[in-house]
Structure 1
Amino acid sequence: MKVEGIEPDIQIQALLAKHYTSAGLNEKAEIVLKEIEGENLKENRWQCATLIRLYTNMGKADEVERIWKVCESKAGIDDCLAAVEAWGKLKKIDEAESIFERASKKWKLNSKNYSVLLMVYANNNMLKKGKDLVKRMADSGTKIGPLTWIALVKLYIQAGEVEKADSILLKAIHRYNVQPMFSTYMAVLWQYAKRGDVHNSEKIFHAMRT
């Protein structure tokens, strides 16, 4: 694009880096990330969340930590949530929790914000911590939104409690009129299919169609 005199914006660069990473072309991805970062990241702090997410996709914990240290003192909520998600994916749960607590003291968090940490717990099979976080949401008066239900379903599936995941999914649909993502249905359906449970597989399949 540059050869043709077109300067790609941050969204295009981020998308390009993501595709390079998915294709295993990490060297090309890093070149793009350095272009996004520019010569002085402190003057481009608004790039931090994007860089944190992209370096996480590459498994570059050192780079995630470097970027976070640049923006930490003046981090916005998106920076904090990007870091929570990043450290969760990189299996550094203590760091994820610490940053989340910092954010919760600075801002009034909504269910979407809570869902970031809840998904960290789901992806790391930490059922008790996930349940405690949901209780904390309820105690604070935070309304449970669609992303929270999705994370809850995954949390119980990862813990091997497919019936509980099924119950939560149907409760979200019928009581709270939540429309789950297709992948959420499939996660429960796949667990029943692996068991050879035809009845419950059909039940989930019919729920998907309604």
Structure 2
Amino acid sequence: MLLRSIRATVAAARVFSTKAAEVKTGSGAATGNGGGGGRDTLGRRLLSLVYTKRSAAITVRKWKEEGHTVRKYELNRIVRELRKLKRYKHALEVCEWMTLQQDIKLVPGDYAVHLDLIAKVRGLSSAEIFFENLPDKMRGQATCSALLHTYAQNKLSAKAEALMAKMGECGFLKCPLPYNHMLSMYISNGQVEKVPEVLQELKKNTLPDVVTYNLWLTVCASQNNIETAEKVFLELKKAKLDPDWVTYSALTSMYIKNELPEKAESTLKEMEKRASRKNRIAYSSLLSLHTNMGDKDGVQRIWKKMQSLFRKMNDAEYTCMISSLVKLGELKKAENLYNEWESSSGTGDARVPNILLAAYINKNQMEKADTFYSRMVQKDIKPCYTTWELLTWGYLEKSHMKKVLDCFQKAIGSVKKWNPDKRLVTKVFKKIEEQGNIEAAEQLLVILRNAGYVTTEIYNSLLRTYEKAGKMPLIVAERMEKDNVQLNADTHKLIKTTSTMPVTEVSSSFP
């Protein structure tokens, strides 16, 4: 479970924007927009806003009022950079400003970007209204594809399929992009059985691109089907397309999983050739793959290469490297690297220290984990759900039930909607049962009830705890009825067994 938490932490961290560090360091495209040196440009002004409450539209208007020329191509370039940085609100404000300018002529592609930003900032319904209100000549392939992408991202299969059918009727399926959106959605939904049909339709109307083949390889990887994956790769080569780093990453992962080191080394080399400053995230993938191969030297070499290419590592990269070092048994090096992150990063993101916290707990070093957690607090790093979950598991191993319940309650309280971890709930209740700790059992029931998760088995665990303690709970059946929980055969048996035991008032003190 703890190792899974580490993997979840790493996975979550990889979605960080790899461009964020480029803006801070001036090493990326943001600097290019600035126009060189330290001169004042519209791009620099917009990219320096940072805070969402500040208005991009006001910034553009002021720039124009100062007598500067505002060109559409420049604004489009800035919008692209803002989107890469996930600064969607400011990008949308620039798009909206452009629609109000009579001297700026917009094309369907501009509206497609506008629609995508509305979906991200204001939601799907607003994007649909925007699409419906577009002039007929602007509701073409580009804007339809943008709406389709929104449906795919929201996993709305029915709407996506209906729109896809309409696009076919209008002759808008002459490029692979819409099909790629559908493939991505089906893969994300776990509907891989629909992938062959989409690929067949795509090939009837157009030609697959590299993204298509990469998505196809993703399906092969999910099914661990190396034979098909290699056929897909050969088809890609025959189509005279250039495989990218994603292609080779997918193949390498499969080869590592199936213990084919020579093939893995070959594809990994090809992947590294295609990694560059433009696709910075590829380096984190390289770190992970070398780690999975147990290649310590390769991990260190890639890290040094990254340090030579980028002035500052971002959180996602520190997360990946620290995880790699932990996995390779280099805990001391991982600690040293964490110290470096702590002194250089101002984000305070708990996902980075969670890796070391998990490592200590996995090693059953709860004293060290406690000390490290205190250090996190002192450094103003706000714990997240994973932090509390890790501590819950750690204290559970030590049977410190008071701390277990405290951390578990904080874990649930740290998220808007808790997705019940049934395994954790079962383990906590089992430990409580073993101790016959009826106060802890009642407290856990209250925590779970407040989280909206009460089941028959949870009540049965409560009753087994009373049975272990040799005590009779009060009005259990009534409480279950109030919680809208059904009694089963085990429940009736446990109620009957505990009814002959001495009465306890503990249950009456918990609502």
TM interval, shorter chain, is: 0.7 to 0.9
Aligned counterpart in structure 1 of residue 293 of structure 2, from 36, 39, 58: 58
CA distance in 2, matches of 1:166, 1:14: 42
Matched letter for residue 117 of structure 1: L
In structure 1, the partner of 2:426 is 189
Does the aligned pair in 2 maintain the 1:153–1:169 contact within 8 Å?
yes
Q: Deviations over 1:77-132 (max 9, x none)?
A: 23222111111111111100111111111111312222222223233333222222
**Alignment-derived partner of residue 88 in structure 1:** 326
The alpha carbon displacement at 1:167 in A equals 4.3
C-alpha distance in structure 1 between counterparts of 2:254 and 2:400, whole Å: 33
Task: Assess, with a 3 A threshold, how the Cα gap between structure 1 residues 154 and 27 changes in structure 2: closer, same or farther.
Answer: farther
How far is the alpha carbon of 1:72 from its aligned partner?
3.4
Residues in 2 aligned to 1:178 and 1:110: alpha-carbon distance in whole angstroms:
18
* Alignment partner of 1:123 is 2:362: yes
How far residue 22 of structure 1 moved from its aligned partner, in angstroms, is: 2.1
Contact 1:166-1:188 within 8 A present in 2 as well: no
CA distance in 2, matches of 1:198, 1:4: 66
2:307 matches 1:72: yes
1:144 aligns with: 383
Q: Does 1:114 align with 2:353?
A: yes
Mapped partners of 1:197, 1:4: distance in 2: 63
Instruction: Using the TM superposition, give the Cα deviation of residue 39 of structure 1 relative to its aligned residue in structure 2, in angstroms.
Output: 7.7
Are the equivalent residues in 1 in contact too, given 2:385–2:415 (CA < 8 A)?
Answer: no
Which residue pairs with 2:238 in the alignment? 4
Do the aligned partners of 2:384 and 2:411 also contact (CA within 8 Å) in 1?
no
Cα distance between partner residues in 1 of 2:387 and 2:433: 28
Does the 8 Å CA contact 1:162/1:188 hold for their aligned counterparts?
no
Shift of 1:179: 5.2
Q: Which residue number in structure 2 is paired with residue 24 of structure 1? A: 259
Q: Is this contact kept in 1: 2:291–2:328, CA < 8 A?
A: yes
In structure 2, list runs of 5 or more residues that go unmatched. 1-232, 454-511
- Other-structure match for 2:337: 99
Which residue, 385, 390, 395 being the options, matches 1:156? 395
1:37 aligns with 2:272: yes
Quote the Cα distance in structure 2 between the aligned partners of 1:26 and 1:188.
40
How high is the sequence identity, in percent, across the aligned residues? Answer: 25
Q: Measure how far apart 1:42 and its partner are.
A: 8.7
8 A Cα contact 1:37 1:44, kept in partner: no
Aligned to 1:176: 414
Distance (whole Å) between structure 1 residues aligned to residue 277 and residue 341 of structure 2: 20
Distance between the aligned counterparts of 1:116 and 1:152, measured in 2?
Answer: 12
Q: For residues 83 and 32 of structure 1, what CA distance do their matches in structure 2 show?
A: 21
Calculate the aligned-residue CA RMSD, in Å.
3.5
Distance in 1 of aligned mates of 2:301 and 2:362: 24
Deviation at 1:58, TM superposition (A): 1.9
Amino acid aligned to 2:410: K
TM-score, normalised to structure 1, is 0.75
Shift of 1:13: 3.0
- Supply the distance in 2 between the matched residues of 1:181 and 1:123 (Cα, whole angstroms): 23
C-alpha contact 1:56 1:89 (8 A) present in aligned 2: yes
Q: Is the 8 A contact 1:192 1:198 kept in 2?
A: no
Worse-superposed segment, 66-75 or 42-51: 42-51
Contact 2:287 2:302 in 1 (8 A): yes
Amino acid of the structure 1 residue aligned with 2:295: K
Relative distance call for 1:110 and 1:196 in structure 2 (3 A) is same
Q: Distance in 2 between matches of 1:122 and 1:181?
A: 23
The range that moved more, 13-22 or 50-59, is 13-22
Q: Unpaired segments of 5 or more residues in structure 1?
A: none
Give the number of the structure whose alpha-carbon radius of gyration is greater.
Answer: 2
Residue 71 of structure 1 and its aligned partner are, at CA, apart by 2.2
Distance 1:167 1:33, change over 3 A: same
1:125-153: per-residue Cα shift (whole Å, max 9, x none)? 33222222221222232221122223323
Q: C-alpha displacement at 1:180, in angstroms?
A: 5.8
Quick check: which one's helix share is greater? 1
The CA distance in 2 between the partners of 1:47 and 1:30, in whole Å, is 16
Count, aligned residues: 204
Alpha carbons 1:52, 1:83 under 8 Å: kept? yes
